[in-house]
Each structure stands twice: as structure tokens, then as C-alpha cells.
């Protein structure tokens, strides 16, 4: 687990988003992910995220999925480069 202070939004605000700026949080490293859709509900996307603690499945509408993708892309572009040396807890060994 790595402690972090997210800039984004866990207390629900009046606009329906969550504000995480007032609390410390911890995150598990993502070890795998998958996307798909239920056969009987093709209008939903299921995002499965796997960590060492297990799998969490999230159902998203098309609009939510596009917003998540846009937000992840924007945030990833702002990340600092990885450190030159040292272990990378999220990396897999061959």
C-alpha cells in the first residue's frame, strides 16, 4: 500500500462528486484489469479491477466510461516520470 493525497474528489459534494482533498488515503497497486459488458445489458460496461486483495467489478454507463477514460488519460499525462532506480511495486517480473 502506498499513502497518497489525491487532488481529485470521498465526501459527496452538492454536485454529486466526491472530495478526497481533506483526508489521507491508501491505494492498492493494480495487478490486472478487464472490461466487458453483460450479455443481457449491452448498454453497460463492466470494469474489473484486480489487486492483491481481490477483484472489484464496477458497472458504468457509456457516458461514465468515457469520462473515466478521459480523466485517467489527463491524469496520467501529468504524472512525474518513474524513479531511475529502485523497485517498482506494480511491476511484474518475467
Q: How far is CA 68 from the centre of its chain?
A: 8
Within a domain: 65: yes
Specify whether the CB–CB gap between 60 and 68 falls below 8 A. Answer: yes
Within a domain: 71: yes
How would residue 27 be classed by pLDDT, with cut points 50, 70 and 90? Answer: confident
42-86 pLDDT, tens per residue?
A: 999 999 999 999 999 999 999 999 999 999 999 999 999 988 866
The C-alpha cell that represents 18 in the structure block? 466526491
Within a domain: 70: yes
Distance CA 9, CA 4 (A): 13
For residues 84 and 21, the model is more confident at 84
Domain assignment of residue 73, given as a range: 30-78
Number of domains into which the chain is organized: 1
Q: What element of type H or E holds 68?
A: helix 62-77
37-54 pLDDT, tens per residue?
A: 999 999 999 999 999 999
Amino acid at each position: 500500500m502506498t499513502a497518497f493525497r489525491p487532488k481529485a474528489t470521498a465526501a459527496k459534494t452538492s454536485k454529486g462528486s466526491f472530495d478526497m482533498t481533506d483526508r489521507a488515503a491508501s491505494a492498492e497497486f493494480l495487478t490486472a484489469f478487464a472490461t466487458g459488458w453483460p450479455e443481457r445489458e449491452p448498454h453497460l460496461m463492466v470494469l474489473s479491477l484486480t489487486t492483491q486483495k481481490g477483484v472489484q467489478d464496477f458497472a458504468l454507463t457509456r457516458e461514465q466510461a468515457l469520462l473515466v477514460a478521459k480523466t485517467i488519460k489527463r491524469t496520467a499525462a501529468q504524472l512525474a516520470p518513474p524513479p531511475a532506480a529502485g523497485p517498482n511495486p506494480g511491476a511484474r517480473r518475467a
